[in-house]
A and B are shown apart, each in its own frame.
Chain A
Amino acid sequence: MTAMGSLILRTATRLLLPLLLLFSLFVLLRGHDEPGGGFIAGLVGATGFALYLFAFDAERTRSLMGVDPRLLLGLGLFAATVSGLPGTLLGHAFYTSLWWTPTLPLLGEVKLSTPLLFDIGVYLVVLGSVMTIVLALAGAEEKAEETTWNR
């Protein structure tokens, strides 16, 4: 996490980050019947931000993310828990999956479901927890570096 990170890494990161985030959404959405899903997608997304962290520093990564990763963690956990409830309102067991396929203009038929909400929750939890850990570690390291320089 030095300020002198290589130019190639920084330039590449600027290009890779949006690609990685898009790819993570792709993996998230294709996940129900095909390989993919919230967990792996969350890891891919976190990789993008972690790469940015290596190229720049913790402060800039935080402002790039815009929200505290802990908030993502909480929202994700909440979404995943709540996704079990709609089924119970219809008299099914907890976590019974419900499907809803409306036809939207432009997009065509869209498959919405409670498992999708669950997967989005998992995505947010994974992204939030990985980024909480990585940012905390990077922050501690940067602080340690500063103090050694100041000595």
Chain B
Amino acid sequence: MSLEVALPIIIPFLAGSLSLVFYRAPLVQRWLGVAGTGALLLASIVLLYRTYTDPDQVLSIAMGGWPAPYGIVLVSDLLGAIMTVLAGIMGFATAVYSLPTISRDHEAFGYYPLMHLLLAGVCGAFLTGDVFNLYVWVEVLLVASFALLILGGERAQMEGAIKYVALNLLSSILLLVAVGLTYGMTGTLNMADLVGRFAAMENQGLVTVVAMLFMVSFGIKAAAFPLFFWLPAAYHTPPVAVSALFAGLLTKVGVYALFRFFSLLFTQDVGYTHEILLWGAGFTMITGVLGAAAQYEFRRILSFHIVSQIGYMIMGLALFSPLALVGGVFYIMHHIIVKANLFLVSGVVYFLRGSYELKHIGGLWRTHPWLGLLFLIPALSLAGVPPLSGFFGKYIIIRAGVEQESWGIVAVALVVGLLTLYSMIKIWAEAFWKAQPEEHEERARAFEAAVSGKRLTLMVLPIGALAAITVFIGLGAQPIYELAYAAAEQMRDPQIYVNAVLGDTQ
């Protein structure tokens, strides 16, 4: 019995449905939020441990006892398990952060059930071994994210949501078309089964066509160039806990799917598909970081930086050497923690100063030096300053680029790293270093006075924990590197995955 593979999906569903049942009791919902995501975190850690210690390092269960490739399988290989743990960490951190920051109105509109549903969709996407099932999970998380995005119904939210919904629906349609074509060509949708079927196809050109459809679809979801603009239009509008959850997990589902599909299924024509990915990665990095340089709103800067960071991960996939894949996986782990943490910090800044506009705030270093420190850890890590986690992520990927003599992308990655540092220093100088602008002083005072110490403590707890993880990934990079290395090894050899899922039925 390997219930542990299904638990990260079951737990959020149970917690979510129970919080719907208790829709009139916000207190119960809050505790369910913390307890449910805590249980999810534990279950995901157990799953990663079991997967890592498994002889194949791949766990797979056939839902309902219908064997693969006919039934739907849940598969936990190292990549999937690592992503699930990250989802667990993010879920738990935002659930705690939600306690003091989510208003009663948002709770009444079903914030907690939607949060659990989103987590269920994310974990489902990470763990499924079936292409159509992946589509379904992506839809589950999208539906939840649509609702979370417009929670509160402000004008800016609606504007962002329209772009978000329109582009993501386009991406879903492309995904569905690609799934349909895949089924028509091969007669199966089980990922492990597809590996052999695609290899046996006579017309490899068709396989590449389908690969491109998947690439565009997941590229939109990952906010890669050129269809990334839904992200900076939407991410700065919802409550901060939602922003952080989105920033940590949503685009990463797209990135994960790209990693899964372009290491497991579509490696027939690496020279073509991965070359396109590499160009996409370069443009994604540049446009993201340049977009951020022009912004002066805290969360918009961070949103554009998500886009540019996605470029690094895709670069790791596109170079497709063992080292590059290690770097890609390492970078995802580092990025989810750091980026979500920055959003959480931006929320604290808002509660202390009453604005996300950098022009309207300042003086935080003087009044709250500890917050400055908590900002600097993820910010410098994002920019890649040693010895924090971002340094190792960037170092591994760039080293892989140098080894393959892809000088163009290496140069882009280095310059983008520098510009990231510029953006982070801009936030530092504006929000923390300079004095509070006088014309907005009154508002800032009022906001600061309204925040009780207890609320602030609850907000800072998850930030501190995530910052500690960042430092840990940086200082103790070796075990994390080894984990990423093992995950990359699996990606290099699809046969491990295939054997573990199909087993004796081959």
Contact = CB atoms under 8 A, between A and B. Distances in A.
B64 A70 contact: no
B412 interface: no
A134 interface: no
Interface string A48-75: 0000000000000000000010110111
B62 interface: yes
Interface stretch (A3-11, A13-21, A34-42, A80-88): A80-88
A74 B19 CA distance: 7
Nearest to A114: B64
A77 interface: yes
Contact of B1 (A75, A78, A82, A88): A88
Contact of B20 (A70, A88, A93): A70
B3 A94 contact: yes
B460 interface: no
A77 B22 CA distance: 13
Contact of A84 (B10, B20, B23): B10
Contact of A95 (B13, B17, B64): B64
Nearest to B21: A74
B313 interface: no
A80 to B, nearest CB: 8
B63 A78 contact: no
Given A81-B10, A81-B17, A94-B3, A74 B64 contact: no
Contacts, number: 59
Nearest to A94: B6
B23 A93 contact: no
Contact of A93 (B13, B21, B61): B61
B16 interface: yes
Interface string B48-73: 00000000000001111100000000
B3 A77 contact: no
A68 B23 CA distance: 10
A77 B10 contact: no
Given A68-B23, A74-B23, A88-B1, A93 B17 contact: no
A74 B14 contact: no
Interface of B: 1, 3, 6, 10, 13-14, 16-23, 61-65, 110, 113
Interface of A: 68, 70-71, 73-78, 81-82, 84-85, 87-88, 91-97
Closest 8 pairs between A and B when the two form their complex, measured CB to CB: A74-B20, A77-B17, A74-B21, A78-B17, A95-B64, A94-B6, A96-B65, A81-B13
